[in-house]
Amino acid sequence: MRKLFIAGNWKMNLLRSSSQALLAQLRSSLSDVANVDIAVCPPAVYLRDAAEALTGSNIGLGAQNVFSQAEGAYTGEISCGMLLDVGCRYVILGHSERRAIFGESDAMVNEKLHATLRSGLTPIVCIGETLEERESNRTLEVVSSQIRGSLAGLSNEQMEKTVLAYEPVWAIGTGKTATPGQAEEVHASIRSLLATMFSDAVSQKVIIQYGGSVKPDAVADLLMQPNIDGGLVGGASLKADLFSTIVQLASKIHK
Ligand code: PGA
């Protein structure tokens, strides 16, 4: 049985006071949830404050990006060691916004992934097709190629520790959630691909989140699908009531 995992990706939103208020609300509204893994990923400058606000809670802390090198002349970048040092446990890698706006390739994501796993942080690796790719029936081809490139060179043990997030680009921030059927089709094919790249047993252990306009009204039907193991939530993770409701709904799913 895979434990459902809901993570909030705050992106470049909120300021110090609003992020502290959100964390305080989440901390109290989610304190009873034990059967779902929960994480929030605030902007890097607020990670240290967030770690303090979440100390002793059931909400893990993640970053939205990291650089592959341990230290050195890399102006503006942050290392895995620094993220661990301020209390992070997770890091999102290869989000479609980083791929599209900041030019991250599968090869760059792969370097970051190896550095992340070496450090002991848990990576959340994002993949997903654009609308144009879906409309030209290339979804599975694009997602497979991103998986092969981003996950190259991982051992079975490393793969088991890696979380994947299938995020169709056309669903991110658009209010257009993939239907449970559309998402499950891709999740199932990702799991079969992992079985051929690693092993069946490994593929059964990997957490594959869905992301793209996850909201309370759609989340239960998505999470009921056999191969959808959680959500990476953007917009709705900025509102305490929406994010709490999503986690509470997840905690009621038995499959
Ligand atoms: P969204 O973002 O929930 O606002 O669509 C999801 C994501 O980009 O991770």
CATH code for the domain in which residue 199 is found? 3.20.20.70
Residue 56 has pLDDT above 90, yes or no: yes
- pLDDT tens profile 57-100: 999 999 999 999 999 999 999 999 999 999 999 999 999 999 99
Mean pLDDT across the chain = 98
Which ligand 1 atom lies nearest to the CA of residue 172? 5
> Which of 96, 98, 208, 213 is the pocket-test mutation for ligand 1 (most atoms within 8 Å of CB)?
213
How many domains would you assign to the chain?
Answer: 1
pLDDT of amino acid 46: 98
Pocket-testing residue among 126, 233, 239, 242, ligand 1, by greatest number of atoms within 8 A of Cβ: 233
Q: Which pLDDT does position 1 carry in this prediction?
A: 83
pTM: 0.98
Active site residue 77: no
Long-range own/partner contacts, residues 51-59 (CB < 8 A, 24 or more apart): 51/86, 51/87, 51/88, 52/87, 53/20, 53/23, 53/24, 53/27, 54/23, 54/27, 54/87, 57/27, 57/30, 57/31, 58/30, 58/31, 58/33, 58/34, 59/23, 59/26, 59/27, 59/30
- Cα 171 to middle of ligand 1, angstroms: 8
Express each pLDDT in 17-55 by its tens digit: 999 999 999 999 999 999 999 999 999 999 999 999 999
> Does the pLDDT of residue 255 top 90, yes or no?
no
- Nearest atom (ligand 1) to Cα of 235: 4
Which domain does 13 fall in, by range? 5-251
